[in-house]
Structure 1
Amino acid sequence: MSIKGNLEMEVRVLGSAREVGRSAVLLKSSSTNLLFDFGVLMQKEIGFPVHVQPKDVDAILLSHAHLDHSGALPLFYLSNGPKTYTTKLTLELSKLLIEDLLRISGFYLPFEYLDLLEMMRKTITINPNDKVKISPFEATFYDAGHIPGSSSILVEGEGKRILYTGDLNDEDTQLLRGADYEVGELDLLITESTYATEDHPPRSEVEKSFVEYAKEVVERGGTLFVPAFSVGRAQEIACVLSSHRFPYPIYMDGMALKTNEILFRYPEYLRDSKAFRKAINSVEVVTSWKQRKKIINTPSVIISPAGMLVGGAAVFYNQQIAQREKNAISIVAYQVQGTPGRTLLEKGLALVNGKPTKV
């Protein structure tokens, strides 16, 4: 795709076109090439964007930490890669998620931990709403309201104004303020469209319905398992339950616990840092298999990654919780095609002792 004017630019979509995952968009001008994100597609085999040589990229602009936007970035640092620009919180959360991908992945990955460290070394962090000069362009990072540290990125230069929204949420949540920025007229808008055709009910109704259902499950003696992304969604679920004064035990497991510790250090990125701390302090942390085996028989809510049931403690909880009729599983995030979460959502099937079982 070309943007014509006094100086022509080219936009190449390297990933995430007609799919959810491996987001990557290359903006090529007469003098400078900018890459927005470079993520992975989490399926049975990890998918990567269309390859681009590090020497053909002058700078990388990272919108947020989720692996579908950040997970393939270390590929650029097998050799002398370009600088990456992002918020400080996004950099720290990206390191956490990519480290986990390297540690637990059963897939072959074409990069190693040292490449991740090189990526960290060559990243320049900026604050929300600040501008950074990447000659001949200026890039401004606006709060996208998606997860803590997430950004929509406005690029201005060579007579053009281009907005890359990244994943975007313009509605306040318990955890975050919604995106609220004015950028004026644009020559090009590059935006995500995961829920473009969906008509969502008011958030207050969704929260109330979720909390009431959680109470119903616990009061009948069951356990509600909520598989949730370790960055953003797990914390939001805890905040929702806390704000509605949920009176029963809440457990949190997995890498979400490390995310909590990081977010405590960045209160300025949160809508209400005191409410967040209260919510997290009200949950019981799970750190051992002995605890896991105990709480699956405890009337409660269990929040644990991975959000699509592809790994982590969620695999154990999914198998165990599915075996008792009075239990329940709540899917609270988008599920990519081919993941166990998508199979559970569409077909009501969970793997129990290696066999697909109706739940």
Structure 2
Amino acid sequence: MNVQFLGGAGEVGRSAVSINDTLLLDFGTKTDAPPQYPVGDVSPDAVVVSHGHLDHVGAIPALLSGDDRPPIHWTPPTYELAMRLARDTLKLRGGTPLCPFTEEERSRVTEVSRTHGYRESFEAAGHRVEFFNAGHIPGSAHVLIDDGETRLLYTGDFHTDDQRLVSATTARPEADILICESTYADVEHEPRERVEKRFVESVRTTLWEGGTVVVPAFAIGRTQELMLICAAHDIDCYVDGMGVEVTRLVRRYPGFLRDPEAMARATSNARIVTGRDGQRKRIANEPTVIITTAGMLSGGPAMTYVPEIHANPVNKICFSGYQVEGTPGRQLLDTGSAEIGRQHLQVSAQLERYDFSAHADRHGLRTFLDSYADTPILVNHGDSCAWFAEELRTAGFEATAPSIGDGIEI
């Protein structure tokens, strides 16, 4: 088996791995300025996608240019999420050099889409492939690939602890080689129960004081997790932005949710914002919780809410996840001021950060990898891949950290 890394090696973003020059795993984007895409000219016979986040599916329609029509294999939620993200990309960048595909190419995705559930074996480009729940977001999958001689497990992004939205991965299929993500290889997450308790107590305090809580959240996964937390603790909330549509989408696939009834209750508990007739500005003056995109304050309805609440020290902005360096969210956390919606704001509202990550941390990664003590490991999807590979070697694993463009013969 030949494995070549076209992106996602030594970085988070633009994940893409070629197997035997015929099968492509993921084809994502890296949201730099300008965006970055996988390297090399690829023309796969088939594509298999691990999950529906931009860094794994963002450039998928570009594979359907010209006469190329490779079948694309994924779970049903991943297909739906990929189509939604592609539509969003066209809205933001369509018709510019920053968009890697056209509306016509996006529409072709439907023609070549092949959906599969977990543990349903299928054929792709002469390989046997099987999906296993990865516990990251609805529809996320570990991908097991067998070319008749070698079994490769591509972990995709995964979590080894339960979230309210999805159950943790428990799958440990036998494999001859492993490609493992390492996003939080150098981080120990605070226990989720403790994070949730701190968040709930902080929110309740602000509401009791008459303040407003704005929670910037990623549309896919994080918005729904926060909705579930609010409902579980009887906290009313508003939900705004792309997360509204994504919530409707994932609810169409209850088999990929940990507790579909809880998600239904969370949806009933939330009030949906339409944005009409100054609704957002009115809501921003209520003692309430507003869950809104974008998670790093780089766009979306947050551009209205933050300027409205920023000057009152009773109010809070509660970040729900990691803020990438260079984003307005990171700038605000580091300096207390940021460019928000074309305004430079010195924020008096309280700033808090909570780690609701959907990735395994250092302990979770090591726990997962304990099942593969005798399996060669290729470390990818992280800013500290080389460091983590060295740590694994010190612990007795056979681990390497490939670079982008590297080809490895197994």
TM-score normalised by the chain length of structure 1: 0.90
CA 1:259 to 1:327, structure 2 compared with 1: closer, same or farther past 3 Å? same
For residue 351 of structure 2, what is the aligned residue in structure 1?
none
For residue 120 of structure 2, what is the aligned residue in structure 1?
130
The percent of aligned pairs where both chains have the same amino acid is 39
For residue 11 of structure 2, what is the aligned residue in structure 1?
19
Question: Which of 240, 245, 259 is residue 234 of structure 2 equivalent to?
Answer: 245
Kindly indicate whether the alpha-carbon contact (under 8 Å) linking 1:253 and 1:285 is maintained by their aligned counterparts in 2: yes
Kindly indicate whether the alpha-carbon contact (under 8 Å) linking 2:281 and 2:304 is maintained by their aligned counterparts in 1: no
| Residue 134 (structure 1) shift | 2.2
3-state SS in 2 of match to 1:195: coil
- Residue 88, structure 1, aligned to residue 71, structure 2: no
Count of matched residue pairs: 343
Kindly indicate whether the alpha-carbon contact (under 8 Å) linking 1:84 and 1:123 is maintained by their aligned counterparts in 2: yes
| Residue 269 (structure 1) shift | 0.9
How do 1:1-359 residues align onto structure 2 when only pairs under 5 Å count?
A: 9-28=1-20, 33-54=22-43, 57-79=44-66, 80-105=68-93, 108-184=98-174, 186-246=175-235, 249-289=236-276, 290-352=278-340, 354-355=343-344, 357-359=346-348
Letter paired with 2:12: V
- CA distances 1:62-102 after superposition (whole Å, capped 9, x unpaired): 11111111011111111223111001111011111211121
TM-score normalised by the chain length of structure 2: 0.80
3-state SS in 2 of match to 1:133: strand
CA distance in 1, matches of 2:132, 2:324: 27
Larger deviation, residues 13-22 vs 137-146 = 13-22
Kindly indicate whether the alpha-carbon contact (under 8 Å) linking 2:130 and 2:143 is maintained by their aligned counterparts in 1: yes
3-state SS in 1 of match to 2:181: coil
CA 1:291 to 1:350, structure 2 compared with 1: closer, same or farther past 3 Å? same
Larger deviation, residues 331-340 vs 154-163 = 331-340
| Residue 135 (structure 1) shift | 4.8
- CA distances 1:113-153 after superposition (whole Å, capped 9, x unpaired): 11111122111111111111125321111111111111110
Kindly indicate whether the alpha-carbon contact (under 8 Å) linking 1:43 and 1:336 is maintained by their aligned counterparts in 2: no
| Residue 358 (structure 1) shift | 4.8
Kindly report the root-mean-square deviation, in angstroms, between the aligned alpha carbons of the 2 structures.
1.8
CA distance in 2, matches of 1:52, 1:342: 34
CA distance in 2, matches of 1:341, 1:175: 24
Kindly indicate whether the alpha-carbon contact (under 8 Å) linking 1:331 and 1:345 is maintained by their aligned counterparts in 2: no
CA distance in 1, matches of 2:143, 2:310: 42
- CA distances 1:238-277 after superposition (whole Å, capped 9, x unpaired): 101111222xx30000111111211222111111111110
CA 1:226 to 1:91, structure 2 compared with 1: closer, same or farther past 3 Å? same
Unmatched 5+ residue regions in structure 2?
349-410
CA distance in 2, matches of 1:206, 1:21: 26
